[in-house]
Amino acid sequence: MEHSRFYYHVSLILSISGFVFPVMVGSIGINYGQIANNLPTPDNVIPLVKSIGATKVKLYDADPRVLKAFANTGVEFIVGLGNEYLSKMRDPDKAQAWVKANVQAYLPATKITCITIGNEILTFNDTSLTDNLLPAMQGIQTALVNLGLDKQVSVTTAHSLAVLEVSFPPSAGSFRKDLVGSITPILNFHAKTNSPFLINAYPFFAFKSNPKQVSLDFVLFQPNQGVVDPKSNFHYDNMLFAQIDAVYSALASLGYSKLPVHISETGWPSKGDEDEVGATLENAKKYNGNLFKTICQRKGTPMRPNTDLNIYVFALFNENMKPGPTSERNYGLFKPDGSPAYLLGINGTDAISTNSTPTTATTTTTTPAPRSPESTSTGYLSISAAVKQAIQSNCFRFVHVWIYWKMEQLQRPTTVSIAVVELPGL
Ligand SMILES: *[C@@H]1O[C@H](CO)[C@@H](O)[C@H](O)[C@H]1NC(C)=O
Ligand SMILES: *[C@@H]1O[C@H](CO)[C@@H](O)[C@H](O)[C@H]1NC(C)=O
């Protein structure tokens, strides 16, 4: 009884505020890598994903445990087809069998919207892998068409930023000349199938390889003078935006200026080897904290100011079995036990309790102008000080959307946790 009344009131608020802000989603994606032997079970990962306000998850495989656990959560999924399966997907029967078992089987309960075929294939410099990439993408696309799923699931592949030969200044961005021949037909595939171009972009690598030349503030989205692109005259105050615009330039140079670019990975390690300059807890916190802030402000890059950033943060967990330098095992926002790897300033543990009135809460979520904290405390929803702070900031839309999403999924409407982004520097 108590519960259903609560649910009714919250639904009411949601319909009112949803009306004021129809579909304002500056949403956050997260990479859920699992090269580890100590991660929580997928059921226990759901609250972690929600606690950071992520509405999209990218997998590197199509782990059935994860896809089952996230059924009816509303979370959108990108699933991955591993590099090792590429050659098999030339065979239409095998491609169809893969889609049936790894995608169709979970729809519509689990919202799979995209399949990435391999990861960073072109920069392996392995001709047989490269040669199999487009046929595999086509094989999977054909299978989706045959199964009637191509309208809801798209096919793409994720590239390393190293596919670029020139990435600075952004206006001069161009692809490695030796890759143009293999990349052009892939771009054509994207244009034909309306699928996005995916890039993994790490300002960390640029800083690490050149710490004396590259400004740390510029790579960490901290206040800095920035740089002006001499050709476009655009001003860049962070490296990620410069990298993204370099990709847009490279695409335009091949005649594909209209393709959407999504950032399939970006992040910063909280720990590294001695020679990995910049891999510290403090820098990871700044990079990811500022990144979340940038995403929720719904800023575009100088070349695409009105296009939402579509970013998947790398990664959910520190992954203890990843090979390579120490940094590789320390990109996680969370430790394997589910505790935050560092205080990002994102706090999803605050609960909304049921002792105030709908009108006040609605006003709160729909009023962008700063208000005094006292004025929002007596509504139907009692919102914590941290939430108020976020609501008063540019993040209010993000908070709003998150409440909306969470309520939709609510099965036992008792408490609602909402993601709070406490803006660094506020
Ligand atoms: C791949 O080839 C490019 C161009 O020849 C080279 O710069 C790059 O280092 C190579 N990458 C690997 C992983 O071998
Ligand atoms: C989140 O907020 C709660 C209550 O305000 C606090 O106890 C907790 O330490 C915070 N967690 C993080 C990660 O900031």
| 14, part of any domain | no
| 419, part of any domain | yes
pLDDT of 335 above 80: yes
* Greater pLDDT, 51 or 413: 51
pLDDT (0 to 100) of residue 258:
96
**One domain, residues 402 and 278:** no
Domain span at 135? 24-329
| 15, part of any domain | no
Long-range contacts formed by 408-413: CB under 8 A, 24+ apart = 408/74, 409/72, 409/73, 409/74, 410/7, 412/3, 413/3, 413/4, 413/6, 413/7, 413/10
pLDDT of 18 above 50: no
Per-residue pLDDT tens for 130-162? 999 999 999 999 999 999 999 999 999 999 999
**One domain, residues 32 and 62:** yes
Long-range contacts formed by 234-242: CB under 8 A, 24+ apart = 234/170, 234/171, 234/302, 234/303, 235/302, 236/170, 236/302, 238/203, 238/290, 238/294, 239/203, 239/206, 239/207, 239/214, 240/201, 240/203, 240/266, 240/291, 241/301, 241/302, 242/167, 242/168, 242/169, 242/170
pLDDT (0 to 100) of residue 79:
98
Q: Which of 347, 384, 388, 422 to mutate to test the pocket of ligand 2 (most atoms within 8 A of CB)?
A: 347
| Residue 413 pLDDT level (bands cut at 50, 70, 90) | very low
pLDDT of 346 above 70: no
Does ligand 2 lie within 6 Å of residue 385's CB atom? no
pLDDT (0 to 100) of residue 48:
96
Average pLDDT of span 367-381: 30
* Greater pLDDT, 415 or 35: 35
| 221, part of any domain | yes
Does ligand 2 lie within 6 Å of residue 260's CB atom? no
**CATH code for the domain in which residue 30 is found:** 3.20.20.80
| 338, part of any domain | no
Question: Phi, psi (5° rounding) for residue 327?
Answer: -55, -35
Total structural domains within the chain: 2
pLDDT of 421 above 50: no
**One domain, residues 187 and 263:** yes
Per-residue pLDDT tens for 197-229? 999 999 999 999 999 999 999 999 999 999 999
**One domain, residues 273 and 380:** no
* Greater pLDDT, 22 or 234: 234
Does ligand 2 lie within 6 Å of residue 349's CB atom? yes
What positions carry a catalytic annotation?
120, 265
pLDDT (0 to 100) of residue 365:
31
Strand-pairing partners, residue 114, are 78, 154
Q: Whose CA is nearest to atom 10 of ligand 2?
A: 347
Q: Whose CA is nearest to atom 1 of ligand 1?
A: 125
Does ligand 1 lie within 6 Å of residue 15's CB atom? no
Mean pLDDT of the chain: 81
**One domain, residues 245 and 382:** no
- Ligand located closest to 333 CA: 2
Q: Is the dihedral of CA 276, 278, 281, 287 positive or negative?
A: negative
**One domain, residues 170 and 257:** yes
pLDDT of 2 above 70: no
- Ligand 2 geometric centre to CA of 315 (Å): 21
pLDDT (0 to 100) of residue 291:
95
- Ligand located closest to 384 CA: 2
| Residue 345 pLDDT level (bands cut at 50, 70, 90) | low
* Greater pLDDT, 381 or 420: 420
Per-residue pLDDT tens for 43-65? 999 999 999 999 999 999 999 99
| 318, part of any domain | yes
Q: Which residues contact 275 (CB under 8 A, 6 or more apart)?
A: none
Per-residue pLDDT tens for 55-96? 999 999 999 999 999 999 999 999 999 999 999 999 999 999
| Closest ligand 1 atom to 125 CA | 1
Does ligand 2 lie within 6 Å of residue 343's CB atom? yes
**One domain, residues 171 and 95:** yes
Does ligand 1 lie within 6 Å of residue 126's CB atom? no
DSSP calls for 341-372: SS--SEE---EEEEEE-HHHHHHHHH--S---
- Ligand located closest to 122 CA: 1
**One domain, residues 359 and 320:** no
Q: Which residues contact 361 (CB under 8 A, 6 or more apart)?
A: 13, 379, 380, 381, 383
